[in-house]
Amino acid sequence: MTAATGTPFETDGQRALRTAVAALGRRHADAHDDDPGVLWREAGKLGYLGVSLPEEYGGGGGGIAELATVLEELGAQGCPLLLLIVSPAICGTVIARFGTEEQKRRWLPGLADGSRIMAFGITEPDAGSNAHRITTTARRTPDGWVLSGRKVFVSGVDLAEDTMIVGRREDTRTGALKPCLFVVPRDAPGFHRTAIDMELRAREKQFELVLDEVRLPADALVGDEDAGLLQLFAGLNPERVMTAAFALGMGRYALAKAVAYAKERRVWKEPIGAHQAIAHPLAQSHIELELAGLMTRKAALLCDAGDDVGAGEAANMAKYAAAEACVRAVDHAVHTLGGNGLTREYGLGRLVTASRVARIAPVSREMILNYVSHQSLGLPKSY
C-alpha cells in the first residue's frame, strides 16, 4: 500500500506520475522534513504543483486528475501538501478558465512552479455551508473596488502572496447580490489576519480575515462580474476532488502502517494479522479506499472534461466516500496498533483528528447528503 498502485483506468503517463510522486514523498518522509516549504519547492521544480495548469503559462497541461494524483501519493507517504487543494486547484483553475490574459500571465506561472501561493477565502462566521449568506461585499468605485467583510478558516494566508476572496456585489439592474471573485494582495491596506488557535496539529495554519474597506484596482476582479456562480463552482468542484485525494492518501498511509504492524507483531504464536478480528477491518478499509478512489477519478475526469454539473455530483460523492473511508481506515489502524497507535513513533495519533477534517471541510457530510438527496434523487428540500 505504500507504493503507487494506479488503476487500469489511468493512462501510462498518469501511472508514471504516481510512481514518481510516490518516490518523492518517500524521500521527504524518510528525511523527516519539518519545513513543508522544502517539499513544496522541490515539487514545484519538478513540475508537480502546476501539472493541471496550461502549458503556455508554465503548467504541465494536464488536469485535476493529475493534480489529485500528486496530492494522494504524497499523502500516502505521510507528507501531504494541503495547499495543493487551494493554490493550483481552486485559484489556478478559476484563473485559467476565467481570468483575463493579463491575469493569467501575472499569476499562473508562479502558481505552477510554486514560487507564488494563493489562498482562498469563502467561509464566514455566519455563512458556513450556505454561500448565499455571504456578507462580504464589493462596492464599485471610479477606479476599482472596495471590499468589506470577514472570513474564517482560511488556510495558509501567512504563506500566500495573495488571497482569492469570494464577495458579493449589487446588481444595478435587480438589486440582487451576486458572488464575485477578487484577488487581494497580502499587503493591501485594511487586509488583516489573525491565526485561529486550532487543536489540529498541522503544518498549515488557519486564519480569520478582516477586510476593512480594502481598496482594489479594477483588474482585481477575476473573470466576468455577472458569472460569479459559474466561476465559483468551477473552483469548488476541484476543491472537493482534491479533498477526496487528500483523504485517500491519509487513509492509505494509515492502512499501510497497520498492515506492516499486523504482519510483524506477535502476541501468541502467529502474527496478529492472522486473526480475523484484526484482518477483516483492514480488508474492509482497503476495499473502501479502492472504491472511493474510483469515484474520485471519475469526478476528476468530469472536471477535466468541463462537465461542471456532472462533476458537481461526482465530486461531492467522491469527497463523502473518501472521507468516510479515511476515518475508518485511521480508526482501524489505531486499534490494530493498540497503545502504539497513539505514540508519536508511529505517526497515527495525529491522524485521529486530521481525518475528521475531511468529513467537515470544505463542506460537511450532511450537506453532501442534502445535495445528493435533492439534486440526484429529486427529493424535496427542508430549507
User: Cβ neighbours of residue 130 under 8 Å, at least 6 residues apart?
Assistant: none
CATH of the domain at 102: 1.10.540.10
Q: Is residue 183 part of a domain?
A: yes
Whether residues 71 and 209 fall in one domain:
no
Assign 6 to helix, strand or coil: coil
Q: How far apart are CA 17 and CA 28, in angstroms?
A: 17
Q: Is residue 343 part of a domain?
A: yes
Q: Which of 67, 100, 117 is the last residue before a domain boundary? A: 117
Whether residues 264 and 360 fall in one domain:
yes
* Residue found under cell 506492516: 260
pLDDT for 199: 83
Counts for the chain of helices (H) and strands (E), in that order = 11, 7
Q: Which of 70, 92, 117 is the last residue before a domain boundary? A: 117
What amino acid occupies position 129?
S
- Phi–psi pair at 302, nearest 5 degrees: -65, -40
CATH of the domain at 167: 2.40.110.10
* Residue found under cell 495543493: 84
Whether residues 198 and 257 fall in one domain:
no
Whether residues 267 and 369 fall in one domain:
yes
Residue length, the chain? 383
Whether residues 113 and 124 fall in one domain:
no
Burial 133-160 (b: 16+ CB within 10 A, else e): ebebbbeeeeebbebbbbbbbbbbbebb
Q: Is the separation of the CB atoms in 98 and 234 below 8 Å?
A: yes
Q: Is the separation of the CB atoms in 52 and 92 below 8 Å?
A: yes
pLDDT for 224: 78
Q: Is residue 345 part of a domain?
A: yes
Q: Is residue 69 part of a domain?
A: yes
pLDDT for 3: 44
Whether residues 73 and 190 fall in one domain:
no
User: Cβ neighbours of residue 54 under 8 Å, at least 6 residues apart?
Assistant: 61, 96, 104, 108
pLDDT for 1: 41
CATH of the domain at 367: 1.20.140.10
Q: Which residue segment(s) compose the domain that 206 sits in?
A: 119-225
Helix, strand, coil: what percent of the chain each, to 5? 55, 15, 30
pLDDT for 232: 77
Q: Which of 100, 117, 134 is the last residue before a domain boundary? A: 117
* Residue found under cell 508562479: 110
Number of separate domains in the chain: 3
List the alpha helices (DSSP H) in the chain: 12-31, 36-45, 64-76, 83-84, 93-98, 101-113, 228-264, 276-304, 308-337, 349-360, 365-371
How far is the CA of 171 from the CAs of 135, 138, 178, 179, in angstroms?
Answer: 15, 11, 7, 10
Q: Is residue 342 part of a domain?
A: yes
Whether residues 147 and 195 fall in one domain:
yes
Q: How far apart are CA 307 and CA 309, in angstroms?
A: 6
Q: Is residue 320 part of a domain?
A: yes
pLDDT for 276: 97
Whether residues 149 and 63 fall in one domain:
no
Residues of the chain with pLDDT under 50: 1-4
